[in-house]
Amino acid sequence: MPLNPKLTNLVFEKNDLKHQVYDATRAAFALFRNTARQTIDDLRAERDATGRNTNLAYTDRGDFEFEIDFASDVLIFLMHTNVFEFSRDHQVMKSQYIRDDNSRSYCGVIHIYNFLADSFTYQRDNDLGYLIGRIFINREGHYFIEGKRELGMLYNNFGTSQVAPESVRQIIESAIEYTTNFDLLTPPYDEIKVVSVGEMRSTFDKKSIITAKRLGFRFQSDTD
């Protein structure tokens, strides 16, 4: 019995689309990787020229992950290997850009996470990191960002924003700026006033007491 042509077209066309999205996302991630490395090199040059004492580092963490360290912060860029589509209720789906061609709504995703550098240095496994932005990239190389403040407010025109060296540099600099301004706050007193013997014994073994930039506060309020 011959296969239903509609089925074969659906399977093959959807597969081709996802491969196109994946390839565009891989290319974008490579550009993010190279631009992040260059940004750290530029910061190092400025640091050395001014005699500052600031930790700056770029580290590859595999094919789909890299990190940049600056001062007391770490940003980890992580590319997801799957392809996603926006939900029907998402604002992107209401744009003329998507209405003209629904295949443009299929995207790869790059996540940007912020951690404290000391969390890794002292192996504090219970410390928390935060997703400060996620970058959606479609097969045409257009992108849309959901994120905190600088990231979410500046890069949200899916129809006109395209991945390019200049835009990637702006995104990375905005992520660094947001992270630097996102300060470590002391948690509410009542949340840490009681500590068990076991927690106290393991505190200096870097395992028990959690540290995070907004421990005890609602991080979501930062979008206001």
> Is residue 18 within 8 Å of residue 6, measured between CB atoms?
no
Q: Would you state the structure tokens that stand for residue 77, as one six-digit string?
A: 């860029």
Nearest residue to 133 via CA among 27, 54, 32, 21: 32
Instruction: Output the pLDDT for position 199.
Output: 66
pLDDT averaged over the chain?
85
Distance CA 157, CA 60 (A): 30
Q: How many CB atoms lie within 10 A of CB 220?
A: 9
Please give the biggest Cα pair distance in the chain: 76
> Is residue 137 within 8 Å of residue 21, measured between CB atoms?
yes
Instruction: Output the pLDDT for position 222.
Output: 45
Instruction: Output the pLDDT for position 3.
Output: 73
Instruction: Output the pLDDT for position 64.
Output: 97
Segments in the chain below pLDDT 70: 149-155, 184-189, 191-224
Distance CA 147, CA 134 (A): 6
